Amino acid sequence: MTASPERGKRTLVTGVIGSDTHIVGNRILSMALEDAGYHVVTLGALTPAEDFIKAAIETAADGIMVSSLYGQGELDCRGFRDLCVEAGLQNILLYVGGNLVVGKQNWDGVEQRFLEMGFDRAFPPGTRTDAVIQLLNEDFAKREADVGAEAR
């Protein structure tokens, strides 16, 4: 996958939130994002929500991608968008993915809860990296188009 010059300038912060140590999927995603031309700041496992925000500020990130596999993502991610807004990152792109809740729950309901929490997208376990990258490219392109329309 080749990167356009615009995409090559995008910075993303990735990490595994809360008390979760499941890092393999997050590392695979980070490598795929780098291959697609993104600059990736990888925080690793056991990352508090506040550390995502600090890293996004320090690196002038365009997006934050939160991973959780141990089922407590819903608890760990509550208030995440509010923390972004408080830090002046109200327009940052927020993605979350993994095994976000305990037990087998209807994905549509899980996804809706995360969207209501302020995430731009939520991905179920097993989502392919190319699907994430495609949607990421589309979301950034839409934001650029919206900014261009507002400027006119």
3-class DSSP assignment, residue 129: helix
Which residues, 6 or more positions from 101, have their beta carbon under 8 angstroms from its beta carbon?
71, 73, 74, 110
* Dihedral-angle region of residue 52 (phi above 0 means left; psi in -120 to 50 means alpha; beta otherwise): alpha
Q: What is the pLDDT of residue 4?
A: 38
What stretches in the chain show pLDDT beneath 70? 1-8, 151-152
Distance CA 69, CA 22 (A): 6
Q: What is the pLDDT of residue 152?
A: 64
Q: Rounded to two decimals, what is the model's pTM?
A: 0.91
3-class DSSP assignment, residue 125: coil
The angle subtended at Cα 34 by Cα 28 and Cα 36, nearest 5°, is 105
Q: Residue 117: name the closest of 90, 78, 65 by CA.
A: 78
Q: What is the pLDDT of residue 9?
A: 82
Question: What amino acid positions are annotated as catalytic residues?
Answer: 20, 22
CATH of domain 5-146: 3.40.50.280
